[in-house]
Structure 1
């Protein structure tokens, strides 16, 4: 009998160990499936299969961005020059694309093609031969690749005439007619300047998951766009155009859900991230939505986890204009959209904040940053069992509390 009891205990312990081992193994497998590029001491690094490797030396590398197939990285080099470079992961060979082309660049959703915009000229290249543009177009204000990769959706550069600015046009430009404006397809022309609407440019363009809508910011002159821009949507055929809300000039602060037509964004005028910033979610077709930020708080970044949960980086609202002075450290909150329930993922701290939430399937990543250093944290979707996944990345720049963490960190598949 005693031997039977001992055997049962040993069997139970074995089952517990196996269950725990399976959970740990699944966690390790999840981490090994991740691939991230990051900047440390101005150099470009990658972490893959839980191994870190330096890929390129600075000075001042920033803005790593993955190609859609994960075989290439584009990045900028130089604090002021903004050189645009590409690097092939398999060979670790890097090539200069343009000595001054790093302000606005994007990978094609299909094939290895990289586009960049410089002084109103849009061009795209094959990263294997970046010295020879595959096509160019002048007079472009901003752009995004079409979801098919077969061309661009772009805004025009307006002109200042004696009676005001010319309206901004939105174009669909197939690759085979790039450079011939007579062949561009005018999708919509933004309203003329009025007391209710003023735009001399746009942000990049983002498509809803159902393929029906395009979201973008209509931006006024530079001095005004720092404080207030109009969040707009237009149907892909240009028939329906709507202005939704006002927000700062931060294209990372509006994102579509993975399905349907729901758009999450951080609303509120004023460049200070510590004042007047609220998470809102809107079903664009029906125009039904809700706000989720409690009174006395601000939300400063967002990430869709699934169709019913959004994670935000939240802080106590500043009562006075703080400008560039020290701001309260944010923490992460998981918002359940249907019932409005909210759960803290990380605890508020006086020593560090939780920034830049990134949803990674069944995991959640974020940046833990204080005055000393920045680390990349990784936990489950509720932030549990979190640990340092990357130790010591460069601190991002902050514009009135709006942190540019994608300039120093990029997970493959999350851009």
Structure 2
């Protein structure tokens, strides 16, 4: 009798054990129906109502999420912050309009651009509150890894003699509009036949802070088809023109442990052809290596590990010549950059596509969209496991994962 009871208990409990999944130890901010949400593990929390949220960003310690409350017409861009400790939304100042916001890498300080003025928030009771002017005449910026300085750009002007150089400066965060404090880091000479841009931005530091990469922006019509990708050593002594690509910030990324820059090369605003994954070694004179096979295009990338890159890949569509641009139905591929081996790792159904790969620790996430809609579901896969699963349903665009 005891054996029969034990067997019945095993039969009853076993089905529940097989369907139980371990909680995902990740944290994400995402937008659903224009509202800000947060997901931690398997728990979802709606953080805003009656707003039009975009560009959420985590503070360095994950206590705060900065975001822009805009509108469908793009005429409003008010800066708000959500405090996960006090569970409330607040403004660091009654009215701050900005489209470029960056958290300090070492503190809960928020720098933002309002017009051509770079500002940094003060701190009150551990929260960003108020602001101080840092510098005028700024078109783009990023914190230095030390959290004490900024790299800033100043737009080129058209003179009777041609375009003046684009200036990059290194300035302290406590500059307070003191025009004697900026240090000229580098002047980028402009040549319409070689390197043409009127501004630069999208700064990204290499893992060791020795290099910073950024995209140049030419005049509006030109920038739709080609943008120069550049890199500069942190001391401003070495400048490199890496290549030409479209103006997507997610299309160039540093390796996690080496000064290697992966990017999607290729001119032309349409995705149907000529979008090739390349890797440039900034400290070697070797030729850039191409990884996209002939007949395919790569339309997104992410480093999975120091030796592996994930790309969103689709067959070319050279048959298309006119009319609405066709949807490129991408799947994710894994590239081993040491051996050159490439394997397809996701298999979306017909009329589905996989985009926006992101990696945190051993987890790979991506968005699976349906047809031409921009919305989709966030899928997740642990490298230690074979199966993927849906982690977040119905997102407006790719979530922002918290990375320490």
Residue equivalent to 1:275 = 273
Q: Secondary structure at the match of 1:182?
A: coil
Counterparts of 2:255 and 2:367, CA distance in 1: 22
Q: Secondary structure at the match of 1:176?
A: coil
Counterparts of 2:211 and 2:177, CA distance in 1: 26
Give the superposition deviation at 1:348: 4.9
Residue equivalent to 1:302 = 301
Residue equivalent to 2:380 = 378
Residue equivalent to 2:334 = 334
User: Does structure 2 retain, via aligned residues, the 8 Å contact 1:272–1:323?
Assistant: no
Q: Does 2:382 correspond to 1:388?
A: no
Q: Does 2:30 correspond to 1:28?
A: no
Root-mean-square deviation (CA, aligned residues, Å) is 2.5
Q: Secondary structure at the match of 1:223?
A: helix
User: Does structure 1 retain, via aligned residues, the 8 Å contact 2:57–2:65?
Assistant: yes
Residue equivalent to 1:48 = 40
Judging by fraction of residues, say which structure has more helix: 1
Counterparts of 1:201 and 1:323, CA distance in 2: 32
Counterparts of 2:59 and 2:219, CA distance in 1: 32
Give the superposition deviation at 1:273: 2.6
- What is the TM-score normalised by the length of structure 1? 0.86
Structure 1, unaligned runs of 5 or more:
1-5, 397-404
- What is the TM-score normalised by the length of structure 2? 0.88
* Deviation string, structure 1 residues 235-256 (Cα, Å, up to 9, x no partner): 1111111111101111211111
Shift in alpha-carbon separation, 1:219–1:366, aligned structure 2, 3 A? same
- Number of residue pairs matched by the alignment: 384
* Deviation string, structure 1 residues 257-284 (Cα, Å, up to 9, x no partner): 1112111011111122332111111111
Counterparts of 2:389 and 2:190, CA distance in 1: 51
Structure 2, unaligned runs of 5 or more:
none
Counterparts of 2:193 and 2:172, CA distance in 1: 35
Q: Which of 272, 284, 287 is the aligned partner of 1:286?
A: 284
The equivalences for 1:6-155 within 5 A come to 28-29=22-23, 31=24, 33-79=25-71, 80=74, 81-97=76-92, 99=95, 101-126=97-122, 132-155=130-153
The 10-residue stretch of structure 1 (103-112 or 321-330) with the greater mean CA deviation from structure 2? 321-330
User: Does structure 1 retain, via aligned residues, the 8 Å contact 2:362–2:384?
Assistant: no
Give the superposition deviation at 1:54: 0.6
User: Does structure 1 retain, via aligned residues, the 8 Å contact 2:185–2:235?
Assistant: yes
User: Does structure 2 retain, via aligned residues, the 8 Å contact 1:346–1:383?
Assistant: no
Shift in alpha-carbon separation, 1:256–1:323, aligned structure 2, 3 A? farther
* Deviation string, structure 1 residues 164-218 (Cα, Å, up to 9, x no partner): 2221111111112242232111111101334212221002211112322111112
The 10-residue stretch of structure 1 (73-82 or 145-154) with the greater mean CA deviation from structure 2? 73-82
User: Does structure 1 retain, via aligned residues, the 8 Å contact 2:123–2:130?
Assistant: no
Q: Secondary structure at the match of 2:113?
A: strand
Give the superposition deviation at 1:322: 6.0
User: Does structure 2 retain, via aligned residues, the 8 Å contact 1:58–1:78?
Assistant: no
